[in-house]
Amino acid sequence: MPHIIATCSSVRPFTGGVSAFDVEADTVRRMIGVLDARYPGLGQHIRRKLAIAVDGDIHQDAGDIPLKPTSEVVLIPKIGGG
């Protein structure tokens, strides 16, 4: 089961302070759906505000990235520019 770690404090209001999760999902898109069902509003927050690292590779748009049962997923703030 993929293990998810949230490094930013912006997820804590959605999760009641939880910052690590195990989720049954085979893609990042499904992982976000499971997290949103568990913590309403978190899915939208992830899509709008966070980048996702899967097994050490950072993705700005990671929806179709496959997840393995041993995957480590890290939620990190998106880097803004201007």
User: Is 63 within the bounds of a domain?
Assistant: yes
Q: State residue 38's pLDDT score.
A: 96
User: Is 82 within the bounds of a domain?
Assistant: no
The first and second tokens of residue 39, run together, are: 């913590």
User: Is 44 within the bounds of a domain?
Assistant: yes
Give tens-digit pLDDT for 19-63.
Answer: 999 999 999 999 999 999 999 999 999 999 999 999 999 987 787
User: Would residue 65 be called left, alpha or beta, if left means φ above 0 and alpha means ψ between -120 and 50 degrees?
Assistant: beta
CA distance 10 to 64: 24
Domain count, the chain: 1
Q: State residue 81's pLDDT score.
A: 63
Residue 82, pLDDT above cutoff 60: no
The CATH number covering residue 66 comes to: 3.10.20.30
- Average pLDDT of 67-80? 91
Range of the domain at 44: 3-77
- Average pLDDT of 4-31? 94
User: Is 64 within the bounds of a domain?
Assistant: yes
Q: State residue 23's pLDDT score.
A: 94
Q: Output the pTM of the full model.
A: 0.89
- In 3D, which of 68, 44, 42 has the Cα closest to residue 56? 68
